[in-house]
Amino acid sequence: MHLPDGIVSATVAAGGYVAAGGLTWGTLRIVRRENEDPRRLIPRASLLTAVFFVASLVHFPLPPASVHLTLSGLVGVMLGWLSFPAIVVGLFFQAAMFQHGGLTTLGVNACLMGIPALLSHGLFQLCHVFGRQKKSVNAVLGFLAGFGAVAISALFAALLLIYTIPEHLDAVSEKTAVIALSMAHLPVAVLEGVFTALLVLFLLRVKPELLETRK
Amino acid sequence: MRNACHGTNRICFVLLLMAISILLQVGIAGAHGVDLAVETVKGVAVTAAYSTGEPLAGAQVSVFSPEDPASPWLTGTCDESGRFFFVPDYNMPGTWDIQVRQAGHGGLIRVEVGEEGVAPPATNGLNTMQKALVTVSTVWGFVGTALFFSGRRGHASS
C-alpha cells in the first residue's frame, strides 16, 4: 500500500497531494474546534506516529508478495481526527528514511491509509451508541476498526492501481498481480483486527481515557 | 533384345532425372543454409527483489532510452528469480531508466550508458545496522516530542 515513486502519473500524485493537504487542514481544524487545548493530544499522537512508523518494518512473507503491518486502524481508534495528520508524518519519515513509499506519492499514500483510519475512528465511535463500557461491543468494534482499515486501504490501492495502469504495460498480468496482492492483505487485516481488539480491551481495563479522542 | 535395351535406356533416364533432382534440392537447400555467429556484448542485468529478499518473479519491466523518456524502448518481464537482461543501444548514450513494477510495487533504476559501456548506478541502500540506527533515532524523536509536550502539561498544571 506504500506506492513508490514512479508508479502513478504526475497528475495522480498531484491530486493526492491536494486531497491530503485538504484533509490535513480539515482534520486539524476539527481537532482544534473539538478540544480546549489540542496540545494535550500531542504526546499521544507522537507516540502513535512512532508505532505507525515502526509497524511497517514488520514484514510477513506471503507469496506472491511480502506484506507488512500498518496499524492504521489502531491509530484511527486512539487518535480520532488527529490520525490523518499523524499518518502523514509517519509516511513522510518512512519515505525519507527507508524509501518505503515515495515522496512524490506521499499525498496518494496519505489518502490510501489516512482515510481508512478516519473511517475506523468513525466506526469505533459507534460504541457510544451500543455501550461504552461493554466489553463485547468494544472487542467487536475494535476488530472491525483494525480489520476494516487494512481492507479498505487494500481496496483503495487496488482500484487506484487498476484504473491507472500505463498503456505500455500488460494490463491483464498487472491486474492479476494487483488482485493477488490485495488478497494477500486479508490475513494481515485479520491480524490487525485481533490486535486492535485486544489492545482496546486492555486499555478499557487499565486506562479507558486513552480511548477517548477528545480532551 | 531391342526392347530390353530400350528398357535399360529408360531406367538410365529415370536415374539421371533423379540424380539431377537430388542435386538441385541440395543446391536449393544450400541457398537456405544459416550461418551462425556469436559475439559477446555488454548488457544490463536488473535484479528485482522485495526488501525481504523475495524476488519479484514475473514483474513487468519497461526500459526507457534517453531519447524518448515517455514511451518505453523495450518491455519485458522478470524471470522466476526476479532477473531481467537486456542490451541497450550504445548509439544512444545517456541515462537509461529501467522501471520494474508488479501490483504497484517496484521502482526505477537509472544506468549511465556511454560509448565505453554501462556505469552501474550508485547504491543508496542501508545495511541492517544503519537501518536500526535510523529507526531508533526517529522513534526517539517521536518519544522526545511526546515527553516534551507532556512535560509542558505537567508544568502548566503544577
Give the pLDDT of residue B158: 38
What percent helix, strand, coil does chain A show, rounded to 5? 75, 5, 20
Most confident region among A15-19, A36-40, A131-135, A202-206 by mean pLDDT: A15-19
Q: Who wins on pLDDT, B157 or A67?
A: A67
- CA atoms of A117 and A51, how far apart (whole Å): 14
- CA atoms of B32 and A97, how far apart (whole Å): 61
Evaluate if residue A192 carries a pLDDT over 50. yes
Give the pLDDT of residue A179: 86
Over range A136-161, report the average pLDDT: 92
The residue among A35, A36, A98 with the most chain B CBs within 10 A of its CB, best to mutate, is A98
Say whether A180 and B103 touch across the interface (CB within 8 A): yes
Say whether B152 and A39 touch across the interface (CB within 8 A): yes
Q: Estimate the crossing angle of helix A171-206 against helix A135-163, to 10 degrees.
A: 160
* B95-129 core/surface letters (b: 16 or more CB in 10 A; e: else): ebbbbbbbbbbbbbeebebeeeebeeeeeeeeeee
Give the pLDDT of residue B44: 85
Q: How confident is the model at residue A114 (pLDDT cuts 50, 70, 90)?
A: very high
Give the pLDDT of residue B27: 56
The residue among A2, A103, A112, A168 with the most chain B CBs within 10 A of its CB, best to mutate, is A168
CB atoms within 10 A of CB A27: 22
- Among B136, B95, B130, CA closest to B112: B95
CB B98 within 8 A of CB B118: no
pLDDT one-digit tens code per residue, A43-62: 999 999 999 999 988 877 76
The tens place of each residue's pLDDT in chain B, 158 residues long, gives: 555 556 677 777 777 777 777 766 665 555 677 888 888 888 888 888 877 777 888 888 888 888 887 788 888 888 888 889 888 888 888 888 888 888 777 777 888 888 777 777 666 667 788 888 889 999 999 999 999 888 765 454 43
Nearest C-alpha in B relative to A161: B104
For B106, the closest of A7, A99, A173 (CB atoms) is A7
The residue among A67, A97, A112 with the most chain B CBs within 10 A of its CB, best to mutate, is A97
Say whether A66 and B50 touch across the interface (CB within 8 A): yes
- CA atoms of A100 and B135, how far apart (whole Å): 13
pTM of the model: 0.77
Give the pLDDT of residue A147: 95
Give the pLDDT of residue B59: 86
What percent of chain A has pLDDT above 70?
97
Over range A176-189, report the average pLDDT: 86
Say whether B105 and A65 touch across the interface (CB within 8 A): yes
Nearest C-alpha in A relative to B109: A6
Give the pLDDT of residue A215: 64
Q: What is the mean pLDDT of chain A?
A: 89
CB B43 within 8 A of CB B10: no
What percent of chain B has pLDDT above 90?
7
Say whether A5 and B108 touch across the interface (CB within 8 A): yes
Q: How confident is the model at residue A64 (pLDDT cuts 50, 70, 90)?
A: low
ipTM of the complex: 0.80
Element (H, E) at B91: none
Give the pLDDT of residue B156: 47
Q: Is A19 on the interface with B (CB under 8 A)?
A: no
Kindly list the residues from chain B whose CB atom is less than 8 angstroms away from the CB atom of residue A39. Answer: 149, 152-153
Say whether A46 and B145 touch across the interface (CB within 8 A): yes
Q: Who wins on pLDDT, B52 or A21?
A: A21
Which residues lie closer than 8 Å to A207 by C-beta, 6 or more apart?
none
Over range A117-132, report the average pLDDT: 89
Evaluate if residue A148 carries a pLDDT over 50. yes
Quote the minimal CA–CA distance from B122 to chain A in Å.
Answer: 15
